[in-house]
Amino acid sequence: MLRNLVYTRVEPILTRSAQFCSERKLSPNQLTLAGLAVNFLAGWAYSGGLFILGGVLVLAASLGDLLDGPLARLTGKASRFGAFLDSTVDRYSDFFLFGGVTYYFAQEESWGWCLAGLGILLGTFVTSYAKARAESLMGSCPVGIFERPERILILLIGSFIPPLFGWALAILLIGTHVTALQRIFFVRRSLS
């Protein structure tokens, strides 16, 4: 949802940035894997309670995630494997980020927030799995109010405004599971 609203406005900037990356001989898969490495570092920052640093790193990793597709199209390297790699790396990145948050709250013995972190991890994976499975059954799954861009935006808001971090986690917990349920009900209606 957020991707569709924002992408058309930033597409010219992404195209110029992709051109810059192409001139430096960067490949789309290199950007994808670099984003994974930066998200690993962000997860480490979150695990130590360094929420602002985690947010800065997530923001940096998100730039790579925004650019890998335009770079692939610009250079003629768009492929089904690249799309698969991008989606798979996103799941690892989600684990690093929310696993780091969960670890932090476990170390602090803040068990309610620790459980919220585990719930966010579960919701994130079920949301993505439900979409992938629906697409394998029906070709598309155009529903879901809380996809990855929305999750990252909420995480960034909580990271940069630490007093809102708990609220961000609550929104992430609810939003991921609402999206999973939306997809389940969509598939049920479509296949009935």
- Assign 158 a pLDDT band (cuts: 50, 70, 90): very high
Q: Which pLDDT does position 91 carry in this prediction? A: 97
Residue 138: how many CA atoms within 13 Å on its side-chain side?
Answer: 18
Give helix then strand counts, H and E, for the chain: 7, 0
At residue 6, the pLDDT reads 67
Q: Is the dihedral of CA 171, 176, 182, 185 positive or negative?
A: negative
Please check whether residue 4 is in contact with residue 143, taking contact to mean a CB–CB distance below 8 angstroms.
no
Confidence of residue 65 (pLDDT cuts 50, 70, 90): confident
**pLDDT on residue 12:** 81
At 103, list the tokens: 């670890």
Q: What is the CATH number of the domain that holds 68?
A: 1.20.120.1760
Q: According to the model, what pLDDT value does residue 140 have?
A: 92
Of 68, 86, 90, 94, the catalytic one is: 90
CB 150 within 8 A of CB 1: yes
Query: Residue 10: what pLDDT?
Result: 76
Domain that holds residue 176: 2-191
Domains identified in the chain, total number: 1
pLDDT band at 5 (very low <50, low <70, confident <90, very high): low
Q: What is the mean pLDDT of residues 61-79?
A: 90
**CA angle at residue 171 from 168 to 174, to 5 degrees?**
150
Q: How far apart are CA 22 and CA 3, in angstroms?
A: 23
Rounded Cα distance, 72 and 80, in Å? 11
Rounded mean pLDDT, 150-162: 97
Label residue 51 by pLDDT band (50, 70, 90). very high
Q: Is 65 a catalytic residue?
A: no
Q: For 92-130, what is each residue's pLDDT tens digit?
A: 999 999 999 999 999 999 999 999 999 999 999 999 999
Measure Cα distances from 187 to 14, 122, 123 in Å: 33, 20, 17
Say what the pLDDT of residue 15 is. Answer: 83
